[in-house]
Amino acid sequence: MSENRLPGEKVATIEEYLPGDNTFEDGDAIRSASVGTVELNKTEQLVSIQNKKSPMVPKIGDIIVGTVEANLGSMMAVSIKYINGVENESNIECICTIRHLRKKNAALVKDVVKLKIINHVNGTIHAGIDEHDLGVLYTKCRKCFGKVVKVRDAVKCSECGWIDDRKLSSDFEQADFLKFDEIK
């Protein structure tokens, strides 16, 4: 069991195991919240993801900027690139619930988002997106990957005209210190 798991990947079911470090529950599934290898603790029935690096962990209340690695509809996994404006290279992930936003495309995979850390549960970092300044900082058109502009609380593609919903940050279009293509 040494292959690497990606954020959002199913690692077990709740019938088999309890969620341990770097995992989260999603319906009947236990999914990885981080890049790492699966570790099964049969005694305690725990499934964890072992993260090789010992990353710098953001604290509750910290503002992070990261890229969306997986969007499961009800929640998304975000790879943290900045903590309180300081670049972070450990690629630690956090989970953000988006079900309540009632937006079909609150954020797309690869979008750059700004979130606030709300708690740590079982070694998984949970972040919120609800506040005005939180949400998508950078996104592209879902149809043609063209450049989009803000139209009220949605975005419109300046190439093909497609209009799409996002949970936009009030900093959207102002965060030009972030050049998407430089974030890998």
Judged by the rule CB under 5 A, the positions of this chain that interact with Zn ion are 141, 143-144, 146, 157, 159-160, 162
Looking at the Cβ atoms of 51 and 139, the one nearer to Zn ion is 139
Report the number of secondary-structure helices (H) and strands (E) in the chain. 0, 17
Closest to 155 in 3D by CA, of 114, 103, 116 = 103
Closest to 117 in 3D by CA, of 107, 127, 102, 109 = 127
> Which DSSP symbol is given to 90?
S
Closest to 2 in 3D by CA, of 42, 52, 76, 46 = 52
Looking at the Cβ atoms of 102 and 152, the one nearer to Zn ion is 152
User: For residue 69, what are the contacts with CB-CB under 8 A and spacing of at least 6?
Assistant: 6, 7, 8, 76, 77, 78, 79, 93, 109
Nearest approach in angstroms of CB 148 to Zn ion is 7
Nearest approach in angstroms of CB 123 to Zn ion is 39
User: For residue 176, what are the contacts with CB-CB under 8 A and spacing of at least 6?
Assistant: none
Round to whole Å and give the CA distance between 112 and 137.
5
Looking at the Cβ atoms of 125 and 136, the one nearer to Zn ion is 136
Looking at the Cβ atoms of 162 and 180, the one nearer to Zn ion is 162
Looking at the Cβ atoms of 103 and 142, the one nearer to Zn ion is 142
Nearest approach in angstroms of CB 104 to Zn ion is 16
Nearest approach in angstroms of CB 44 to Zn ion is 49
Nearest approach in angstroms of CB 157 to Zn ion is 3
